[in-house]
Structure 1
Amino acid sequence: MLDLTWKVFSQTGNIETYLLMKELENEPNTVEGKTAQQEDMSSINLNL
């Protein structure tokens, strides 16, 4: 995903794409393509 965002940024110069890339770089606890927060939300939805 980082490669894609970098490629888009380098071709367009879109600052929002760059900021997205930086956010993805700093994303803690990525588990098989899902963040820990998404995992928590999934378990909450199942418990309802």
Structure 2
Amino acid sequence: MLDLSWKVFTNTGNLDTYLLIKELERDSEAENGPEDTGTSDLTFDSTSQ
């Protein structure tokens, strides 16, 4: 859907189409949630006390 909306926008310059693209992007990000790399900056060392 984003590709089609982008093609329509680039061909017409229609501002409403651009706003639709931005709304679709926000919805997509909300569904996917924040990106998580699965790594942690914390390290635990059992030898230090």
Q: TM-score range by the shorter chain?
A: 0.5 to 0.7
More helix, by proportion = 1
More strand, by proportion = 1
2:20 corresponds to which residue?
Answer: 20
Give the structure-2-normalised TM-score. Answer: 0.57
Greater relative contact order (Cα < 8 A, sep 6+): 2
Equivalenced residues, count: 30
Structure with max Cα Rg: 2
Question: RMSD of aligned C-alpha atoms?
Answer: 1.2
